[in-house]
Amino acid sequence: MRRVAHLSSHHADDDIRVFRKEAVTLARGGYEVSYVVPTVAERTEQGVRVVGVTPPSSRLVRLTVTPWRVFGRALRLDAEVYHFHDPELMLPGVVLKLLGKRVVYDVHEDLPRQVLSKAWIPAWVRRPLSVALEILEQAVARVVDGVIAATPHIARRFPASKTHVVQNFPILGELATAGALPQDQRPAQLIYVGGITDIRGARESVRAIGLLNERRSARLVLVGNVASEELAAELKALPGWEHVDHKGWLSREEVAAELARSRAGLVLFHPVPNHGNAQPNKLFEYMSAGLPVVASDFPAWRELLVAADCGLLVDPFDVEAIAMAMQAILDDPAAAQRMGENGSRAVRCTFNWDAEATRLLEAYERLVPLGG
């Protein structure tokens, strides 16, 4: 049996893409799979052995020390393929390649564009850092055996001969709830699931729910952790926070239950360099749960949502437009039901993990054939 080790210095030990989708898919496909990650919960689950290293105590430790802890623990597994998921693992990945291992770089984000909007990086550093990371990624791509790209846009930055697109679409049925109430029987509740940050529209969402409540009663549910204590304090001081239920981190089962109680999902990303061509998992998860979406009016998202007729597009900085879109969905449950069903159908037919799992297995068959 071919041995594969997935490596992360940053993701959760049950991360949706790394663990639940890719690692589990490979285990079911006949590979012996380990996942090396900062965690104290070592275990074997769904055929994947989760191997822990000491979790980092700070961002600096995560970026400098943890990658080499992951490298050292992974090396002892003596896998045939090392599949890493974080940019800070690029240098350990190159060392693994020099040691004769097959190495795969899984690129989740457009990293050079992503750092341009990282608030914790000093503004004067971002542009030169972006250029340096572009050069480093290109060099690493030439060394490793394969690149797995989360979107076609990301894939275009890497050598076509060794790059495979494996998109982050939902697992069919994971977030669908049997017996979910129709739109007109649900409470007036809208939802956002994911990291709560300024560039993902946290302020605008809170202000919009406040504005909406000047016209009709509604609640906004936020599922996820707030990026910083400063942002949390700012959000709580905004008009509208009294209409927000912040749930924090929830299990996938709890997320499914909240989606089943909601009328629409929000994806109000700001137009920063990494967002325009992104394919947020939450967008497709809302669709898979049968929710219409209120999303930023980016050209790529417009093409998708208009074709599927499954949501409303807004300027993510226009709080009045966001509030009006929220109200339109709440005031017309029949239209919301139709849009939700359209989105669910689009996921079942096209935007689901089944097809992506096949692409992942095909990429691995070229790297380490099970029959070879």
Which residues share a beta bridge with 82?
5, 103
Q: What is the 3-state secondary structure (H, E, C) of 103-116?
A: EEEEECCCHHHHHH
| 183-349 matches 3-169+352-367 in CATH topology | yes
Q: How far apart are the first and last CA of the chain?
A: 10
CB 294 within 8 A of CB 329: yes
Q: What is the pLDDT of residue 120?
A: 83
Mean pLDDT of 178-187: 89
Give the pLDDT confidence of 312-364 residue by residue, as tens digits. Answer: 999 999 999 999 999 999 999 999 999 999 999 999 999 999 999 999 999 99
Rounded Cα distance, 347 and 1, in Å:
33
- Where residue 352 falls (left for φ over 0; alpha for ψ -120 to 50; beta otherwise) is beta
CB 319 within 8 A of CB 204: yes
Give the pLDDT confidence of 112-167 residue by residue, as tens digits. Answer: 999 998 888 888 999 999 999 999 999 999 999 999 999 999 999 999 999 999 99
The pair of structure tokens assigned to 160 is: 């076509």
Kindly tell me if the per-residue pLDDT of 372 is higher than 60.
no
Sorting pLDDT into bands at 50, 70 and 90, what band is 370?
confident
Q: What is the pLDDT of residue 310?
A: 97
Mean of all residue pLDDT scores within the chain: 95
Kindly tell me if the per-residue pLDDT of 177 is higher than 80.
no
Q: What is the pLDDT of residue 33?
A: 98
Q: Does domain 183-349 have CATH number 3.50.50.60?
A: no
Q: Is the pTM of this model over 0.85?
A: yes
Range from 66-75, 112-121, 260-269, 292-301 carrying the lowest mean pLDDT: 112-121
Second-level CATH architecture of 3-169+352-367 = 3-Layer(aba) Sandwich (3.40)
Residue ranges of the domains in the chain? 3-169+352-367, 183-349
Percent of the chain with pLDDT over 70: 99
Beta strands 32-38 and 189-193 are unpaired
Q: What is the pLDDT of residue 138?
A: 95
Give the pLDDT confidence of 61-93 residue by residue, as tens digits. Answer: 999 999 999 999 999 999 999 999 999 999 999
Q: What is the pLDDT of residue 367?
A: 86
